[in-house]
Structure 1
Amino acid sequence: MVKGSGTFRLPQEIRDRVLEAVTPSEEEMQAITASADRLLERIRRSAERAGIRNVEAKLAGSIAKGTITGTPDIDIFLIFSRDVPKDLLEEQGLMIGRDVLDSPRKKYTQHPYITGRFENLSCDIVPCSRIERGEKVITAVDRTPHHTEYVSSRMNGELRRDAVLLKAFLKGVGAYGAENTVSGFSGYLCELLILRFGSFEKVISAFASMEVAEEPPTRAETVRTGRFMKERQGPILFDGDYLLCEAPKTPEEYIRTFGRDALIVIDPVDPGRNVAAPVSDQILAHTALMSGRLMEDSSIELFHPWNRRPYEHTGELSGKHGGTRNALWIPLPDDVPDKVMTQARSFILKAVRDMERRGDWKVAADLILLFPRDAEIDGSYLKARYVHSLEGLDSKGLVVMFTSVPEELEAEMIHYGPPRDNRRAGEFRKRWKDRTRVDEESGRLYVIVSRKLKDPIPIFLSLWGSIRKGPSFEGIDPEIVENQLINEVIWEASERLSS
């Protein structure tokens, strides 16, 4: 279970410096708020011109809740009456978004929304259905206005500052963001943890008290097998004075329902949902270890922006590496980043598991995202990633660097046959003749044979056709990197990732 005890206190000097670095000034905050107000007014006028009368525009996200870190996005939810059909809701919501934003683009969650720019700020305009207490949500985004109200009505100035500190810490250690490109903590989850434990220090103490079974990779871009937490954490529950849906279950029922999740934090707005479901076992273990480090040595280097993640390199290459380091290049499809990275990590993890079943070794894969220097990069790719923009590159792609301990499998391996008293034992002996041996413990026949493949990359390539890769990667084949510019990036990455 998560515990919130401890006497840790972040030094006031560090607290002040972090908050000053990541929080907009009063003048900047006034400008952001004024822009949001003007956008809301523009949306109202757009809806009136189109004759749309059953919609309410509401500000959501960190601006509405007062928990901004850095330059925020303006999140506007277009709340339609519940009786508006879903297809009409989407059509009218997208029409308004395109009308009011500069450079509008359609993106997707459970249904489409519009992202774009307004007065030099990034903006999302999301259509949703109005839900009241006791009603079930139609889509996931229907909850968001209630999340905003829940947090805003319960947070005072001190709690808001602590929520900002927690976000800055998680950004610094590469654990912030519920997207599948990170598998970490959402802003709403950070705010709930502050509300539940009462301060930044108590949340950090709770993280540090979690028992880690195996030290995880320190980067979300590393794919490795293993179970890193000793047990699931939670459930963390809230009072029921704002519950929209069914009454809360018992802790035991929540554990049975969400038993596969590393951390269980029940949504006070919708108790049928685990807010912490996106948090991976690896990221939670990493957060626990980094929290312990912060308690031992209160270093500002663990906070954003001092600890910058991802490592985004746009400088000139040094040209000092003359050799070639083998790696794989997998072209990235034009698809939603969450889908692309989920599918990529999934099939790479399957391959790593298959490799480890072939012999006594541990295999890991580091992922590097490469983009053409002048290409527009979706912000979702830039969270907790090793990213490099490269001049002269024709298309975006994923570089996969495998590391293994030992570096390669032994030259020979055991090839097992049937039990010695099995009817097919004769066929096995006939094929392998005097090379056939018997495992006295199991009674199975076996033979020592030479391995055809010993290195991770050839094994991965041999597995490619049999790995389920997901629709985004249909028709895409990996290849061994021969581009010298890309090899320069790989050398720089390998030096940094091993440090």
Structure 2
Amino acid sequence: MKKGVSVNGILESRVEKIKPSREVLDRVNGIYVEFKKELEGRIKKKGVEAEVFLGGSLAKGSLVKKDVYDVDVFVRFDKKYGDEGVSKLLGRLLGRGFKKVHGSRNYYQKMVDGVLIEVIPTIKIKKPEEAENVTDLSYSHVRYLVGKIGKDVRLKDDILLAKDFAHAQGVYGAESYINGFSGYALELLVVHYGGLVKLMKKIVGFDFKKRKLVIDPAKFYGSEAEIMAVINPSKKVGPVIMIDPTYKERNVVSGLSLDSLLRFQKVCKKFLANPSLKYFEMVELGDGFKGKDDYSIVVKTDKQAGNIAGTKSKKFFWFVLSRLGKEFVVRKSGFEYDDVKNKSRFYFRLGKKEDDLVKGPSVSDGKNAGRFRKVNSGRAKGFGRVFERDGYLYVKVSHTLNFDEWFERFLKVDKKVIGEMGVEEVVKG
């Protein structure tokens, strides 16, 4: 650790920078209170059996300073309205001016005095097993965390810092194109270990390549072996299993990938060794791709902005990498998705690939040998003549394309696949 620089000093400095002022918090809370009052009036007037409650960071006191604040408003409907019915009913209650957002259960958004109000329909349940959607557990999640934080208010700041730190390192978000920590997962981890620094030390000291980290905050189970035997196989493939303290059959971090976790672990180790504010500051991915062998492309899909478009773009990213690998050595790559512009940017560092010798069928295999000769004799730039060796056909492939030539060919040759993957725009960055 650098002399004169303490972890706590850095954390105290950072939290003051990212905490909204009392004035801002009062304004955001005021907007929520007014909105809740109006919505509850409509619910009562329509005779709908539902109640409104506040969720998200605002409810837990861990709101991070940002340009646009978002408020998660949950509406708990009686289960008689059904899984599909609650979204439609909420839409009718809200009226015009709200944007419908498609998800596992549709919800609604509206900007109110510079604050983004997100209204999420849920079903009122008595037992977690009755949940038809993960959002139905939100009420229990908020109650659990508010109760825990109420016993140690210092955890509010640590939760805020944990999210800030994870976001800066690109591992905040359970979306499929991120495979990181959800907000709820980070909140639980900080609460369980008693603070951010203690969480970091646990992560740094654990060997995730050898075994899984198993956490059961509510102590539902008697042992790790019992957890591994009971939890659904699809929910325990990741490096961490953390049992939801409000629902014993759910793994809160099932979407966290080993790659994201190891990245988080690596930076935690660096931060604890040499505390610095730089670990809380976003680094532009493009800043690491400014050399003569670096390239980028910008991609837009025809999918809804957010997790759907981001996941589709990430899938296309892997496809592009596989195609690039046939012509170049891909030394480094990067992916980023902007959910505001609904566009992705792919980064690559490319190197020269050595010539390949492609082995074909046996000369005695008349039909396939004929096809191999025909296909390769008409191949584009880079393919040599077909020749025989030890009873087999071969063709030498020289990798002579530059990136611009490769890109032009890629758009032409893979035009059909690009369309089928829902990509409507691909341009060089």
Shared fold by TM > 0.5?
Answer: yes
- Name the CA shift for 1:119/1:196 in 2 (closer, same or farther; >3 Å): same
Partner of 1:308 in structure 2?
A: 282
1:70 equivalent in alignment to 2:28: no
Structure 1 residue 462: Cα displacement: 6.2
Match of 1:136 among 130, 133, 140: 130
Residues of 2 paired with 1:352 and 1:126: CA distance? Answer: 37
Contact 1:240 1:248 (8 Å CA) reproduced: no
Q: Secondary structure at the match of 2:53?
A: strand
Partner of 1:32 in structure 2?
A: 28
1:250 equivalent in alignment to 2:197: no
Residues of 2 paired with 1:36 and 1:301: CA distance? Answer: 34
Output the aligned Cα RMSD.
Answer: 3.8
Match of 2:348 among 402, 419, 427: 402
Structure 1 residue 448: Cα displacement: 4.5
Structure 1 residue 273: Cα displacement: 2.7
Residues of 1 paired with 2:328 and 2:86: CA distance? Answer: 56
Q: TM-score scaled to structure 1, two decimals? A: 0.70
Structure 1 residue 299: Cα displacement: 0.3
Q: AA paired with 2:245?
A: P
Deviations 1:290-349, CA, capped at 9 Å, x for gaps: 11110111001111xxx1356799xxxxxxx9x998654544435233211211211221
Residues of 2 paired with 1:234 and 1:138: CA distance? Answer: 28
Partner of 1:277 in structure 2?
A: 254
- Name the CA shift for 1:45/1:194 in 2 (closer, same or farther; >3 Å): same
Structure 1 residue 359: Cα displacement: 7.4
Deviations 1:178-215, CA, capped at 9 Å, x for gaps: 2345332221111110122112111111222345xxxx
Answer with 327-336 or 109-118: which moved more.
327-336
Match of 1:170 among 166, 169, 172: 166
Q: TM-score scaled to structure 2, two decimals? A: 0.80
Contact 2:386 2:394 (8 Å CA) reproduced: no
Contact 1:248 1:271 (8 Å CA) reproduced: no
Unaligned residue ranges in structure 1 (runs of 5+): 1-8, 212-228, 314-320, 370-379, 388-395, 439-443, 482-489, 491-499
Q: AA paired with 1:137?
A: A
Contact 1:408 1:454 (8 Å CA) reproduced: no
Answer with 114-123 or 451-460: which moved more.
451-460
Partner of 1:413 in structure 2?
A: 356
- Written as runs of structure 1 = structure 2, the 5 A alignment for 1:172-191 is 172-191=168-187
Residues of 1 paired with 2:22 and 2:426: CA distance? Answer: 50
Deviations 1:467-490, CA, capped at 9 Å, x for gaps: 4776633xx3635x4xxxxxxxx4
Partner of 1:445 in structure 2?
A: 392
1:361 equivalent in alignment to 2:329: yes
- Written as runs of structure 1 = structure 2, the 5 A alignment for 1:320-399 is 327-333=296-302, 335-353=304-322, 355-356=324-325, 358=326, 361-362=329-330, 364-367=332-335, 381=339, 397-399=343-345
Residues of 2 paired with 1:163 and 1:329: CA distance? Answer: 34
1:289 equivalent in alignment to 2:239: no
Partner of 2:387 in structure 1?
A: 435
Q: AA paired with 1:236?
A: I
Alignment length (residue pairs): 403
Residues of 1 paired with 2:134 and 2:368: CA distance? Answer: 61
Q: Secondary structure at the match of 1:179?
A: coil
Contact 1:24 1:68 (8 Å CA) reproduced: yes
Contact 1:408 1:455 (8 Å CA) reproduced: no
Structure 1 residue 140: Cα displacement: 2.0
Q: AA paired with 1:335?
A: Q
Residues of 1 paired with 2:188 and 2:294: CA distance? Answer: 45
Residues of 1 paired with 2:343 and 2:128: CA distance? Answer: 46
- Name the CA shift for 1:267/1:426 in 2 (closer, same or farther; >3 Å): closer
Contact 1:65 1:148 (8 Å CA) reproduced: yes
1:14 equivalent in alignment to 2:10: yes
- Name the CA shift for 1:169/1:434 in 2 (closer, same or farther; >3 Å): closer
Q: Secondary structure at the match of 1:135?
A: helix
Q: AA paired with 1:237?
A: D
- Name the CA shift for 1:262/1:10 in 2 (closer, same or farther; >3 Å): farther
Partner of 1:209 in structure 2?
A: 205
